[in-house]
Amino acid sequence: VINCHDSVIYVLAPLRYATIYGCSDATIVLGAVGKAVRVEHCERVHVILASKRVCIVNCRECIFFLGVNQRPLIVGDNHKLQVAPYNTFYSQLEEHMTEVGIDATINRWHEPLALGVIDPHDSLSHPAGVADAQTESAACLDPDQFTNFLIPNWFEGEPTKSTRNNPFPLPDPYFTSQQRNQKNLGEIQQILREAPLEENRKRELSCALHVYFKDWLY
């Protein structure tokens, strides 16, 4: 996935390797990647992936929703990165994970490993006279900011054993946040259903909610 901007990209397939390079203001969802994913020179990107390994290089203001069997590697000049547990599923996910050998019982998303120092010859990120600096690691996303990502159902004739939930168990704080969000959503939906409004007013309210949702999403 190279040089994609202002996009939502789905690669829902079993892969050996994957590279995301030079993207900005995008959401990128990868299927199961059996060997490794490399994410490089990206800005303000949300990356959702299930993989054995992930390496993040020279990225800024990105959030990574990870299901990874080994510690995420963070290399180079990175700024304001966040990591969070995996937050989605699609009907063939577990089948693809089995095919490439990803274990859903092991998720080391919260153990990023920052390697190396910032390149002292890079004048943009490392001004003259500044001592070598350790590569910046990633912070864990606040559980209150954690949300599920819904993938559209494009697969017709789903098999009986299709994936119907996130196969990676959520840590307690994120699970609690998820349950609270679902409860709040249910309460809002009930309030809207029971609101004594005429049909045209309900349509106006629905349109307004969609506008606010899009503003929040993008």
DSSP helix/strand/coil, 123: coil
Among candidates 47, 46, 154, 178, which has minimal Cα distance to 92?
Answer: 154
Q: Are residues 118 and 199 in the same domain?
A: no
Q: In total, how many domains does the chain have?
A: 2
Average pLDDT, the chain: 87
**Per-residue pLDDT at 204:** 80
User: CA 66 to CA 88: how far, in whole Å?
Assistant: 10
Cβ–Cβ contacts within 10 Å for residue 72, how many? 25
Q: What percent of the chain has pLDDT over 70?
A: 86
3 within a domain of the structure (yes/no): no
Please name every residue paired with 82 in a beta bridge, in sequence order, or none if there are none: 63, 139
Q: Does the pLDDT at position 128 exceed 50? A: no
Global pTM value: 0.83
The CATH number covering residue 52 comes to 2.160.20.70
Pairing of strands 138-140, 81-85: parallel
In a domain, 154, yes or no: yes
Q: Which residue reads 């959702």 in tokens?
A: 48
Judge if 68 and 128 occupy the same domain: yes
pLDDT at 159: 58
CB neighbours of residue 62 within 10 Å: 25
List, for residues 14-59, the tens digit of each pLDDT value: 999 999 999 999 999 999 999 999 999 999 999 999 999 999 999 9
66 and 42 within one domain? yes
Q: Which domain holds residue 68?
A: 8-169
Q: Within this chain, do residues 114 and 22 fall inside the same structural domain, yes or no?
A: yes
**pLDDT level of residue 127 (50, 70, 90 thresholds):** very low
Tokens coding 94: 């577990």
